[in-house]
């Protein structure tokens, strides 16, 4: 999602919070809405699925303080008619105009916007792209993607796993500054501000300085090891903490663990895609665990207590008298435990196991029971409509 697309989004409304909401309130609202609209709870419901995607997109921006600040700045600028005091219906455009497309047309007529439209303006403002001027140096290091494979129970309970990454890391000789002395010089074009003020017709705005890339500093004595970049190719080992409850195919984001940024700029992010192996005992359904347990006819008919497995230690489960085969019993709080505090349940399906080799005594006893039950009027198909 780019800043150009943010212009038409109202992420606060999507999460049902005010623009002054705290990060904690935003996180709380996201968790509730994500839980209520999760596709696992509404299989086949496209409306809930789209709502879930909108909520996730909104939290991706508002849940990140840096992205939220940029989003708020962009929305405030559009609302107040920024860029030199001209907005939709702003001064200088009697009658106004609607939407970003009209804005782009007027900017283009004035000889200001290039092929990118608003992207030329906002791209310069946020150091991301733009076609009407040379692009500024990257404001951060590149994001990195990798993948890992976990056992089912590792993913359910959470784990830490070491991985090796090869990529750009801070230069060990200049400590990432790019300067041999460790002291970059002040940029003469922008006097260290990182921005150049420009006027074009009625418009006045500041753009990142192209000489220093918006940093306000230039390298006059480049480090011989990294040639002034501040980064060098290196293999490093990091420990990735996988939160409890991660799902197959889910991506875990580790902020600042991507490639190092040039000349001391922030590092990018690391995205770890998780593949979860199937388990021979449990199956997952949302935050619940499903397990099939074999039982005897007598245990279902007479009731009893059996031992069932969980992710931690086995627990006792009481079977009511007269329980039908295939019934599912619920054990509260023994499913997936997420780091957010959400706990699923264990769903135990009882399946009758029929003995294949019975001795003479067991066969005789079973025949006696069958005949006795028949004489008492028991018919397992008495209420079955299959032969009607």
Q: What is the mean pLDDT of the segment spanning 294-310?
A: 94
- Name the phi and psi angles at 294, rounded to 5: -75, 135
Q: Which domain holds residue 229?
A: 139-176+225-268
> What angle separates helix 46-62 from helix 23-36, to the nearest 10 degrees?
160
- What is the model's pLDDT at position 98? 40
| Weakest mean pLDDT among 21-25, 148-152, 156-160, 170-174 | 170-174
Q: Does the annotation place 306 within a ligand binding site?
A: no
- Give the model confidence (pLDDT) of 162-172 as tens digits: 999 888 888 88
Q: Is residue 296 part of a domain?
A: yes
- What is the model's pLDDT at position 38? 81
- Give the model confidence (pLDDT) of 221-238 as tens digits: 889 988 888 888 888 888
Q: Does the annotation place 190 within a ligand binding site?
A: yes
- What is the model's pLDDT at position 47? 81
- Give the model confidence (pLDDT) of 12-40 as tens digits: 988 998 888 999 999 999 888 888 888 77
Pick from 183, 176, 192, 184: which is nearest to 267 by CA? 176
Do the beta carbons of residue 325 and residue 352 sit within 8 Å?
Answer: yes
Do 352 and 298 share a domain, yes or no?
yes
**How does DSSP classify residue 30?**
H
Q: Is residue 201 part of a domain?
A: no
Long-range contacts of 188-191 (CB under 8 A, 24+ apart): 188/218, 190/216
Checking if the pLDDT of 138 tops 50, the result is yes
Q: Is residue 278 part of a domain?
A: no
Domain count, the chain: 2
- What is the model's pLDDT at position 103? 46
| Weakest mean pLDDT among 6-10, 116-120, 256-260 | 116-120
Do 342 and 244 share a domain, yes or no?
no
Length, in residues, of the chain:
388
Do the beta carbons of residue 124 and residue 3 sit within 8 Å?
Answer: no
Do 302 and 257 share a domain, yes or no?
no
Checking if the pLDDT of 357 tops 70, the result is yes
Both tokens of 223, joined, read 């480090």
Both tokens of 383, joined, read 């209420």
Checking if the pLDDT of 91 tops 60, the result is no
Do 346 and 258 share a domain, yes or no?
no
Q: Is residue 193 part of a domain?
A: no
Q: Does the annotation place 31 within a ligand binding site?
A: no
Do the beta carbons of residue 174 and residue 225 sit within 8 Å?
Answer: yes
Sole residue written with tokens 């009625």: 202
**Tally of CB atoms within 10 A around 66:** 11
Do 291 and 342 share a domain, yes or no?
yes
- What is the model's pLDDT at position 128? 40
Q: Highest mean pLDDT range out of 71-80, 85-94, 101-110?
A: 71-80
Q: Domain with 245 in it: what CATH number?
A: 2.60.260.20
- Quote the pTM value: 0.53
Q: How far apart are CA 194 and CA 209, in angstroms?
A: 5
Sole residue written with tokens 């209520």: 36
Q: Does the annotation place 339 within a ligand binding site?
A: no
Q: What is the mean pLDDT of the segment spanning 358-366?
A: 90
Do the beta carbons of residue 169 and residue 234 sit within 8 Å?
Answer: yes
Do 263 and 306 share a domain, yes or no?
no
Q: Is residue 217 part of a domain?
A: no
- What is the model's pLDDT at position 271? 92
Do the beta carbons of residue 216 and residue 190 sit within 8 Å?
Answer: yes
Q: Is residue 92 part of a domain?
A: no
Q: Highest mean pLDDT range out of 172-181, 211-220, 266-275?
A: 266-275
- What is the model's pLDDT at position 331? 95
Do 328 and 360 share a domain, yes or no?
yes
Q: How far apart are CA 194 and CA 208, in angstroms?
A: 6
Q: How far apart are CA 54 and CA 329, in angstroms?
A: 35
For the chain, the average pLDDT equals 80
Do 252 and 306 share a domain, yes or no?
no
Q: How far apart are CA 329 and CA 150, in angstroms?
A: 29
Q: How far apart are CA 251 and CA 249, in angstroms?
A: 7
Q: How far apart are CA 40 and CA 49, in angstroms?
A: 9
Q: Does the annotation place 209 within a ligand binding site?
A: yes
Q: Does the annotation place 212 within a ligand binding site?
A: yes
Q: Does the annotation place 171 within a ligand binding site?
A: yes
């Amino acid at each position: 999602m780019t800043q150009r697309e943010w212009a038409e989004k109202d992420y606060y409304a999507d999460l049902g919070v005010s623009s002054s909401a705290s990060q904690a309130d935003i996180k709380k609202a996201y968790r509730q809405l994500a839980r209520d609209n999760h596709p696992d709870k509404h299989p086949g419901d496209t409306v809930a699925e789209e709502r879930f995607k909108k909520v996730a997109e909104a939290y991706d921006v508002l849940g990140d303080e840096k992205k939220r600040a940029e989003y708020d700045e962009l929305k405030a600028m559009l609302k107040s008619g920024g860029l030199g005091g001209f907005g939709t219906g702003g001064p200088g455009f009697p009658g106004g105009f609607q939407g970003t497309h009209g804005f782009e047309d007027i900017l283009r007529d004035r000889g200001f916007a290039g092929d990118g439209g608003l992207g030329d303006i906002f791209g310069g403002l946020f150091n991301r792209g733009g076609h009407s001027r040379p692009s500024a140096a990257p404001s951060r290091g590149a994001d990195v993607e990798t993948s890992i494979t976990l056992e089912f129970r590792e993913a359910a309970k959470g784990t830490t796993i070491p991985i090796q990454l090869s990529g750009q890391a801070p230069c060990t000789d200049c400590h990432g500054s790019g300067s041999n002395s460790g002291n970059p010089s002040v940029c003469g074009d922008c006097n260290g501000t990182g921005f150049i003020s420009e006027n074009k017709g009625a418009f006045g705005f500041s753009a990142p300085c192209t000489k220093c890339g918006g940093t306000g500093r230039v390298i006059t004595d480049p480090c011989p090891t990294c040639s002034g970049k501040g980064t060098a190719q290196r293999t490093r080992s990091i420990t990735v903490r996988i939160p409890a409850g991660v799902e197959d195919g889910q991506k875990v984001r580790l902020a600042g663990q991507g490639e190092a940024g040039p000349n001391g700029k922030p590092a990018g992010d690391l995205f770890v895609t998780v593949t979860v192996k199937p388990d021979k005992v449990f199956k997952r359904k949302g935050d619940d665990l499903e397990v099939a347990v074999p039982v005897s006819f007598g245990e279902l008919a007479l009731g009893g207590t059996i031992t069932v497995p969980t992710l931690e230690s086995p627990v006792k489960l009481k079977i009511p008298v007269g329980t039908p085969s295939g019934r599912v019993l619920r054990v509260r709080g023994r499913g997936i435990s997420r780091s957010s505090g959400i706990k699923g349940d264990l769903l135990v399906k009882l399946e009758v196991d029929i003995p294949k080799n019975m001795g003479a005594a067991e066969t005789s006893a079973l025949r006696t029971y069958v005949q006795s039950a028949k004489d008492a009027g028991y018919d397992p198909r008495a209420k079955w409509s299959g032969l009607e």
